[in-house]
Structure formats: C-alpha cells, structure tokens
Amino acid sequence: MMAKTYSQYVCQQCGRRSARQMGRCPGCGEWNTLVEEIIERKPSAATHITRSGGHRSTPRRLSEISNEAEERIPVPIEEFARVLGGGIVPGSVVLIGGDPGIGKSTLLLQTTLAMAERGPVLYVSGEESERQIKMRATRVSFPVASSKTAKTEGTEAHTGKFPENLYLVTETSLDVILEHIENIKPDLIVIDSVQTTYLPELESSAGSVSQVRETASRLRELAKTTGVTVFLIGHVTKEGTIAGPRVLEHIVDAVLYLEGDRFQTYRLLRTVKNRYGATSEVGVFEMRERGLVEITNPSEAFLAERMVNAPGSAIAVTMEGTRPLLVEIQGLTSPTNFGNPRRTPNGIDFNRLLLISAVLTRRVGVRLAEQDVFVNVIGGLKINEPAADLAVATAIASSIKDAPVRADTVLIGEVGLSGELRMVGQMPARLREAEKLGFKQAIVPRRLSKGEPWPKGISVIEVRSLREALKAALIEE
Ligand code: TYD
Ligand code: MG
C-alpha cells in the first residue's frame, strides 16, 4: 500500500492538531507553539508490538480480580524506591524529567547497574556512545542488590565487575530499539532520551510532539502487553516543561522530576504524578565524584555548613511531600546604591519575597525601602510553601538589625498581609523533625483552638504576629 503524507500544524505544548497555522493554540492557549509537521503513515506499519505474539484482553468479574497489592520489584536505591511508591511496578512506564546536566543519565545508569543483578536490563542511549557510558559506569558506585550489607553501607564502590545482564546500545530509531528488545527480552528498559528517539515512519523530526507522543505510546503498549518496565528520560525545555508535556504526562504511569541547582550538589527527585503511589514524594541525593549518593538524612546535610550565631540566618521546616526538611535560610540586606532597591531571591518565589519585605516595612517597622534584599535557601532547594515565610522574614530582619537568631530555634509559619502569623499544615511532623535534630525551641503561629498537645521534647512558643516572633527569635543587645 502507498504511504499517505499530509501536513498538519501541531502544538508543541499540548499536542493539539490543526489544519491551518494559528498564532495561538486553541487547545492550551499558548502563543506561537504550532509547528508544521509532515505526517506520513504507512498503513502497514503495525501498531501492535508484542513480545510473544498477540495479547488479547478478557473482561473479568471485579470479584475475581485479585485484590493483593501490585507486586513490586524492589529498587536497591532507597531514595529512588520511595519516590516510586516503594518499588517498580512491572509493566509501568515512568518518565524522568529534568534540566540537561542535572544527573538523569547518571541516576538511571546507577539504577540499571544495581538492577541488572535481577534480570536483563537494556539501556538505550541516543545521546552518548557506548564507550562514554562505559566510562561513566566505571566511575560511579552503585548499591549491590544482592548484598545485604549494602543497605547499611549505602553505596558501594564498584568492584571492577559489571553485571552480565546489563546491555547498552546507542540507537535512536524506535523500530531498531524494539528489535533489540525482542532479542534481549529485558525486564527493564531505559530510553535516554525520549526526545532523541524517533519513529522512521513519521516524517517530523525527533523531539517533535508527534514523535515524542508516538514513541511513548508504543513503549507503553509494549510495557502493558509484555510486563517490561520502561524508564523514559526527558529533557525539560527552558520554560520548565518536558517537550509535549501534557501529551507525555497522560501516556505514562508516573512522572518524576530531578531538580536542583546545577552549581550545587544536592538533587531532589520529586513525584509529579504516580498511578501507583503518593505524589509529592521526594528523594534526596548528592552529586559526587562517584555519581549520585543517597542522602537519607537530608535535614542534617542541609544544616551541616551552618554558621551558628551569624546574623541573617534562620531555620525553616518545610514539607517535601510527607517528609519534613529543615533548611537554613539566609537573608542579607545592603544599602541600595542608586535607583530602585533590588529583591533577589534564590530558592523562594520572587513575589513572596516582595510581600514579606513589604510586611516587614509596613507592619513591623523594619525599614527596607532603601535596602537591597537577598534571600538564599541553602542546598539549592526550592521552597514553594508559605510555611517558610516566617524564617525568611526573620533572616532578613536578623541581617538588617545585625542580631543573630537563637541557634536552637526553628521558625514555622505563614506571614499574612497585616503582619499576622498563620497556621500551616502538618505541624506535629515538622516539630518532631526539629526535635530529632536537637532543636530546643520552635516559634509557631498561635493556635485558635486547642488541638492535640505539642510534642514533648521541644518548647513551642506560640505567637500572634511577625513582630512578636522577631522579639522571641532575635538576640538583640
Ligand atoms: P548527566 O547524568 O549526564 O545529566 P543528564 O543526563 O541529566 O543530562 O550528569 C551530568 C553531570 O553530572 C555532569 O556535569 C557531571 C556530573 N557528574 C558528577 O559530578 N559525578 C559523576 O560521577 C557523574 C557520572 C556525573
Ligand atoms: Mg543524559
């Protein structure tokens, strides 16, 4: 049969197709995202790819379906397993996104090195040569899945022996990749990256929405019919989204993001979507010479370089998913030289900093009108929740007053426009984490109604306003 070719305009954001060019996508409302793509479909190009012949579905009675939890393949990297919801669900497709150079390939190489002890694993790279990957593999450490001691020792340096079952290939054509899968019959496949993989029968270029969607769909079909698990690596575009984000996020079972500051060593692996577990879980790693290393006690790590009794430093307790994290927040004020005072946040939202600065000026009388204000969250962490407001405000006030914050104190609470403090969620978990790390005192918003008693080991000071909180937190002469 003849191949049919036609051209369409495809939104590179949401995948909406249109017969004509438009300035604005009617699907997602983004501007200038429609790109012409030549779409050619050979009718013979079968969409059914199965490992062992066809697979037919059969409806079953709900009562007959086993209600045991999904069987999971353990992942020897605990911080990774946590984010996946406890382990790998066979037949699932997991997308791992992140900026270029953040460590996606490293993480998955370490994971496959560790997982190949269990069964065949295929690592497909469209970006690096087999030798480059081998060189990286010699450098990184990986937990040895079969070794019981690995759990306690964290990661083991690699011993010069590679698992026999780990296969590498540099390939970008999905058709060829599927052939390799047919031959090797892996339990686990890594596609590095979804943007470099293409289907020859589609004419649009690799990385376009059509290609990305088609690649992901075919791999999903393969996963669902054969039970193989697929990890897709995806680069995030400048705008902070994976190319064709909505398209991809619907196709896969889980979406994880690896993030962090490129110039700092901590990396956070976050769940954005997970059909088989909780979202907003987070795993913490550090990029070292031997690859990514798990940080099982991140609070401790984030506070390690803290200078006690230095003005301009305050400790916040933020929640990353279900996990409380203590982080140091630094503030610095410096007289504005000319023009408008600058507000420079690193790790918190710019508008949040504007708001907090305004509240400090107007409600507390801390004069910031002629001051540049810098705020830095240590460890390269990005804080999105208002629970850190109080620590941010305190760090700034501490800097301008040149008065240190009490060293044994954490600050938790949202700052309101009237200078009042507002309660935040999951307070007991936050307080317990602070207590665990040896903090003696927590300054928190006043409770309106008596809830369960505060944890015993830490003294909790309830305050109504930012002004009161500063009085309690700062050591002023
Ligand atoms: P990489 O996994 O290639 O990133 P991605 O696949 O997300 O683009 O990681 C690249 C960076 O990580 C690179 O700048 C070097 C650094 N790195 C280390 O610091 N230590 C290591 O052991 C490895 C393998 C990489
Ligand atoms: Mg890479």
pLDDT tens for residues 115-138?
998 899 999 999 999 999 999 999
Cβ of 291 closer than 6 Å to ligand 1, yes or no, is yes
Q: Tell me the backbone φ, ψ of residue 197, rounded to 5 degrees.
A: -90, 140
Cβ of 267 closer than 6 Å to ligand 1, yes or no, is no
Closest residue by Cα to atom 10, ligand 1, is 101
Cβ of 100 closer than 6 Å to ligand 1, yes or no, is yes
**How many whole angstroms from 103 Cα to the centroid of ligand 2?**
7
- Residue 378's nearest CA partner among 311, 427, 323, 331 is 331
Label the pairing between strands 229-235 and 93-98.
Answer: parallel
Label the pairing between strands 17-18 and 229-235.
Answer: unpaired
CA angle 40, 45, 51 (to 5 degrees): 140
Answer whether residue 9 shows pLDDT above 80: yes
Cβ of 396 closer than 6 Å to ligand 1, yes or no, is no
Task: State whether residue 151 is helix, strand or coil.
Answer: helix
pLDDT of 12-24, one tens digit each? 778 888 888 888 9
- Residue 263's nearest CA partner among 95, 83, 99 is 99
**How many whole angstroms from 231 Cα to the centroid of ligand 2?**
13
Share of the chain above pLDDT 70, in %: 88
pLDDT interval class at 450 (50, 70, 90): confident
CATH architecture of 301-473: 2-Layer Sandwich (3.30)
* Lowest-pLDDT range of 41-55, 363-377, 395-409: 41-55
Cβ of 105 closer than 6 Å to ligand 1, yes or no, is yes
Q: Which atom of ligand 1 is nearest to the CA of 107?
A: 2
Cβ of 200 closer than 6 Å to ligand 1, yes or no, is no
| Cβ pair 186, 122 in contact under 8 A | yes
Q: Tell me the backbone φ, ψ of residue 50, rounded to 5 degrees.
A: -130, 160
Answer whether residue 416 shows pLDDT above 60: yes
- Residue 106's nearest CA partner among 131, 143, 133, 86 is 133
Exposure b/e, 114-137, CB count within 10 A at least 16 = b: bbbbbebbbbbbbbbeeeebeeeb
Cβ of 103 closer than 6 Å to ligand 1, yes or no, is yes
Cβ of 290 closer than 6 Å to ligand 1, yes or no, is yes
pLDDT interval class at 394 (50, 70, 90): very high
For ligand 1, pick from 194, 287, 292 the residue to mutate: most ligand atoms within 8 Å of CB: 287
| Cβ pair 314, 395 in contact under 8 A | yes
Cβ of 131 closer than 6 Å to ligand 1, yes or no, is no
Which one is predicted more confidently, 36 or 303? 303
Helix then strand then coil, in percent of the chain rounded to 5, is: 25, 30, 45
Which one is predicted more confidently, 235 or 153? 235
Name the residue with tokens 């340096």.
157
Q: Which atom of ligand 1 is nearest to the CA of 287?
A: 19
Cβ of 265 closer than 6 Å to ligand 1, yes or no, is no
Q: Which atom of ligand 1 is nearest to the CA of 291?
A: 22
The Cα–Cα gap between 330 and 307 comes to 11
Considering every ligand atom, which ligand is closest to the CA of 193?
A: 2
Which one is predicted more confidently, 46 or 266? 266
Distance of CA 225 to the CA centre of its chain: 29
Tokens of 451: 């809830």
**How many whole angstroms from 100 Cα to the centroid of ligand 1?**
9
* Length of the chain counted residue by residue: 477
Q: Which runs of consecutive H residues, i.e. helices, occur in 402-446?
A: 427-436
**How many whole angstroms from 458 Cα to the centroid of ligand 2?**
45
pLDDT at 143: 67
Spans of all domains in the chain: 4-41, 71-296, 301-473
**How many whole angstroms from 101 Cα to the centroid of ligand 2?**
7
pLDDT at 244: 53
**Amino acid present at 293:** V
Answer whether residue 160 shows pLDDT above 80: no
Q: Which residues contact 434 (CB under 8 A, 6 or more apart)?
A: 315, 317, 324, 326, 410, 442, 458
pLDDT at 239: 57
**How many whole angstroms from 291 Cα to the centroid of ligand 1?**
7
**How many whole angstroms from 128 Cα to the centroid of ligand 2?**
8
Cβ of 104 closer than 6 Å to ligand 1, yes or no, is yes
Tokens of 433: 């984490």
Task: State whether residue 155 is helix, strand or coil.
Answer: coil
Closest residue by Cα to atom 17, ligand 1, is 291
Cβ of 464 closer than 6 Å to ligand 1, yes or no, is no
pLDDT at 267: 92
Cβ of 139 closer than 6 Å to ligand 1, yes or no, is yes
Share of the chain above pLDDT 90, in %: 56
Q: Which residues contact 168 (CB under 8 A, 6 or more apart)?
A: 122, 123, 125, 130, 133, 134
Strand order through the sheet with 291-294:
166-170, 121-125, 188-192, 229-235, 93-98, 254-259, 266-274, 282-288, 291-294
The Cα–Cα gap between 280 and 295 comes to 17
Cβ of 239 closer than 6 Å to ligand 1, yes or no, is no
Mean pLDDT over each residue of the chain, to the nearest integer: 87
For ligand 1, pick from 105, 106, 142 the residue to mutate: most ligand atoms within 8 Å of CB: 106
> Cα dist. 455→319, 325, 352, 436, 440 in Å?
17, 17, 30, 11, 11
Q: Please state the pTM of the whole predicted model.
A: 0.79
Strongest mean pLDDT among 71-80, 296-305, 359-368: 359-368
Residues 344-361 have a mean pLDDT of 96
The Cα–Cα gap between 387 and 427 comes to 10
CATH architecture of 71-296: 3-Layer(aba) Sandwich (3.40)
**How many whole angstroms from 104 Cα to the centroid of ligand 1?**
8
**How many whole angstroms from 290 Cα to the centroid of ligand 1?**
10
pLDDT of 253-302, one tens digit each? 999 999 887 778 899 998 888 998 877 788 999 999 999 999 988 898 88
Which one is predicted more confidently, 38 or 467? 467
